[in-house]
């Protein structure tokens, strides 16, 4: 303190410095939170271009492959393994041996590329890559959507049939995801139509190249239903995987063609995006305010220049727990409590809200959209029983008349 400076002046200046510092910290925190909210929003809405290869390949021979320790590597079942930036593909099977740091699994085959010199890979649930892997007969067809022609695979039943299942894949993947369901539906006498939809890399893209999380994609499913009806379909089941489940649910509650559908099968579905986004944000240790900020960006039109989306997404309309009473179709619902990406809580809530129409099959260690991979016998048996019950109920009740 200088000779002529009053003590109160020094205290005031100190308080001012503290206030400025605190204000700066608050402002920096707010800016940082806003940046995180924008990044999270753009990540959710934008189709990814690259996927992380999070497994290390430690060794392999003609029959086995040894991988570094991870949840994916240690989960039993049948899986795809992608490598070399997804240019290479192999199929892995049962666990042969494991230790604390590695697991050796069956190597069922290398379909693309070579494992020579490859050290990194990632696991997925696809397993089958093309219709020829599940059927000798199939056609590449085009479905006319409001954006243009969207490619699809049509795999006929073994015998001529008016029963159809339309497979709707999830976010960040393509129609190959739904190939796992073809055999069980084909055995039950169903033609399988595996569709593409806007911004998935196969179907025409929107101008903004952004997902709508089901809020607009359902229109492409509606086009697929119209296609099936034009080909003689009389009984149509929709099957949605992950975001495809959200899309199917939007179709069921918003389309004038919903009366053409007799039932829904949902695999690890997004029943409520608000719950799912909170879960994903918390998994990345994002504060609640950041998560709420992200959802605000997604749902308001003023943020279009920030997120890149042409139209806001109505997250409340995508909440089918809150809208459960609007559903009137039989539903077979699969989810695993260890999903890791989309929590099972919303599926559990939908099953509790509508036990009259929902048949709920809960797994405990299958992960996201990999319930077939983990236990194909249980998965196929559940679908087979549900289809039999669906047929029994359809014989008891008058057909649903369409006003279309």
Residue range 8-14: mean pLDDT, rounded: 52
Q: Rounded CA gap, 8 and 19, in Å? A: 16
pLDDT of 226-279, one tens digit each? 999 999 999 999 999 999 999 999 999 999 999 999 999 999 999 999 999 999
Whether 153 and 141 have beta carbons less than 8 Å apart is answered as: yes
Tokens found for residue 46: 């934008």
Instruction: State the pLDDT confidence band at 341, using cuts at 50, 70 and 90.
Output: very high
- pLDDT at position 404 is 44
Q: Name the residue with higher pLDDT: 19 or 290.
A: 290
Residue in 295, 303, 371, 280 with CA at minimum distance from that of residue 334: 371
- In this prediction the pTM is 0.90
Whether 312 and 321 have beta carbons less than 8 Å apart is answered as: no
Whether 101 and 67 have beta carbons less than 8 Å apart is answered as: no
- pLDDT at position 393 is 80
Residue range 135-152: mean pLDDT, rounded: 98
Residue range 106-118: mean pLDDT, rounded: 96
- pLDDT at position 13 is 54
**Domains of the chain, CATH where assigned:** 55-124 (2.40.10), 131-395 (3.40.50.1820)
Burial of 108 (0-12, 13-18, 19+ CB in 10 A): middle
């Amino acid at each position: 303190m200088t000779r002529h400076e009053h003590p109160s002046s020094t205290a005031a200046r100190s308080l001012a410095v503290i206030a400025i510092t605190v204000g700066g910290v608050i402002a920096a925190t707010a800016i940082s939170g806003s940046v995180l909210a924008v990044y999270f929003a753009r990540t959710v809405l934008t189709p990814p271009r690259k996927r992380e290869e999070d497994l290390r390949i430690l060794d392999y021979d003609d029959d086995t492959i040894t991988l570094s320790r991870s949840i994916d590597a240690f989960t039993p079942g049948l899986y795809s393994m992608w490598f070399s930036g997804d240019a290479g593909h192999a199929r892995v099977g049962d666990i042969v041996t494991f230790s604390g740091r590695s697991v050796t699994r069956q190597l069922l085959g290398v379909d693309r590329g070579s494992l020579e010199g490859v050290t990194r890979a990632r696991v997925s649930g696809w397993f089958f890559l093309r219709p020829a892997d599940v059927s000798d007969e199939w056609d590449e067809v085009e479905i006319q959507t409001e954006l243009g022609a969207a490619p699809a695979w049509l795999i006929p039943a073994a015998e001529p049939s008016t029963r159809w299942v339309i497979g709707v894949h999830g976010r960040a993947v393509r129609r190959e995801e739904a190939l796992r369901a073809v055999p069980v539906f084909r055995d039950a006498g169903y033609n399988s139509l595996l569709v593409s939809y806007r911004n998935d890399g196969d179907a025409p893209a929107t101008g903004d190249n952004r997902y709508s999380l089901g809020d607009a994609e359902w229109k492409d499913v509606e086009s697929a239903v119209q296609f099936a009806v034009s080909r003689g379909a009389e009984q149509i089941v929709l099957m949605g995987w992950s975001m495809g489940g959200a899309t199917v649910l939007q179709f069921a509650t918003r389309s004038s063609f919903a009366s053409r559908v007799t039932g829904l099968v949902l695999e690890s579905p997004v029943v409520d995006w608000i719950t799912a986004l909170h879960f994903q944000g918390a998994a990345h240790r994002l504060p609640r305010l950041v998560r709420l900020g992200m959802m605000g960006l997604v749902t308001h039109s003023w943020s279009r220049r920030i997120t890149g989306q042409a139209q806001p997404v109505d997250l409340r309309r995508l909440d089918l727990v809150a809208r459960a009473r609007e559903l009137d179709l039989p539903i077979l619902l699969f989810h695993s409590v260890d999903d890791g990406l989309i929590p099972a809580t919303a599926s559990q809530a939908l099953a509790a809200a509508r036990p009259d129409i929902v048949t709920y099959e809960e797994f405990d260690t299958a992960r996201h959209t990999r319930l077939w991979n983990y236990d194909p016998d249980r998965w196929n048996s559940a679908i087979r029983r549900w289809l039999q019950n669906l047929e029994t109920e359809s014989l008891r009740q008058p057909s649903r008349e369409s006003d279309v």
